[in-house]
Amino acid sequence: MYTVGRTAELTGVPSGTLRKWEQRYGVVVPQRSSGNYRLYDDEAVRRLVVMRSLVEAGWTAQEAARHVTEDVAAAEAQVARPEEPAYEARFETLVACAQDFDVPQLERLLGEGFGDIDVVSVIDDWLLPSMVHLGKAWQRGLVSVAGEHFVTGAVHRRLALTFQSLPPAPSGGPRVVVGLARGSRHEIGVLAFALVLRSRGVAVTYLGGDLPLEAWVGAVRLIEPRAVVLAAPTIEDLPAVREVTEALMPLTEVLLGGAHQDRVEGPVHLGHHAGAAADALATRLGAVS
């Protein structure tokens, strides 16, 4: 639960605006503390973040509020994202695998894709654009939730297997910690980033998704990495990402990727080509093998 002040910090919505949206549009209904102070939970924070994003995109407050209160997930889908990759016929193959639960075809596709020796090209030119296309197909109702999970799970396993099969980095080299903030579970992007880093000789400690703030701080203090890499793949991740970056920036360099990275002030923004960004980071750290 968060106070009005803390909610304003996490969402980027001034406390006065927050109260107006609450009273005039009913976007959130805060709970009350024993002292009668407003308290906001994670769902309220999510609604406020989506509301702010829609207003910044040019919607009127009334129109944005109506969409958020009716269906916050549908409202979130209306928020502008970075320019989507150009359509390629091969992206449809992944969608077809999700539609038909075609295990042999999916295995062949992943085997061919990961067979390219240029891991940056695998990530930036094929894998991540394909996953964006798959997500759009799910939003349009062309792929079921089960089908999307079927493909995403297979991609995650292949990334993890490839990551683990790479030789460990030389001792004494730079170390980078990679993972996601509390509540965030879209791991494909950060795992792909970690894979490229490791392929370039960087010692990567991969922490996975949904890591609480206290765990992040404890790990970074213990490991003392040269840098930390997180992502903000969805709008609802923004409050937790802001919280983590705020806590970690005094400890080490913090770099941020993901579709909504530009909405978080403070960390270094990596841009929207994870493979190239990881390759550039490895070069800057002097660890390219």
Q: Tell whether the model's pLDDT for residue 288 goes beyond 80.
A: no
Strand partners, 203: 175
Entry pTM = 0.77
Which residue has better confidence, 136 or 256?
Answer: 256
The mean-pLDDT minimum among 48-57, 129-138, 168-177, 254-263 falls in 48-57
Distance CA 211, CA 162 (A): 23
Neighbours of 261 (CB within 10 A): 22
Contact by Cβ (8 Å): 184, 237: yes
pLDDT, averaged across the chain: 87
pLDDT at 75: 66
Among 19, 70, 27, 67, which Cα is nearest to 47's?
Answer: 27
- Measured CA distances, 257 to 145, 228, 268, 275 (Å): 25, 11, 9, 11
- Measured CA distances, 1 to 6, 24, 147 (Å): 9, 22, 35
Sketch out the chain's domains with CATH numbers: 4-77 (1.10.1660.10), 89-165 (1.10.1240.10), 175-285 (3.40.50.280)
What would the two tokens of residue 223 be? 């490991």
| Residues 190-212 pLDDT 10s | 999 999 999 999 999 999 999 99
Q: How far is CA 143 from the centre of its chain?
A: 21
Average pLDDT over residues 88-104: 87
pLDDT at 69: 82
Among 88, 86, 108, 111, which Cα is nearest to 97's?
Answer: 108
As a three-state string, the secondary structure of the chain is CECHHHHHHHHCCCHHHHHHHHHHHCCCCCEECCCCCEEECHHHHHHHHHHHHHHHCCCCHHHHHHHHHHCHHHHHHCCCCCCCCCCCHHHHHHHHHHHHCCHHHHHHHHHHHCCCCCHHHHHHHHHHHHHHHHHHHHHCCCCCHHHHHHHHHHHHHHHHHHHHHCCCCCCCCCEEEEEEECCCCCCHHHHHHHHHHHHCCCEEEEEEEEECHHHHHHHHHHHCCCEEEEECCCHHHHHHHHHHHHHHCCCCEEEEECCCHHHCCCCEECCCCHHHHHHHHHHHHCCCC
Distance CA 228, CA 234 (A): 19
Average pLDDT over residues 239-245: 93
Phi, psi of 209, rounded to the nearest 5 degrees: -100, 170
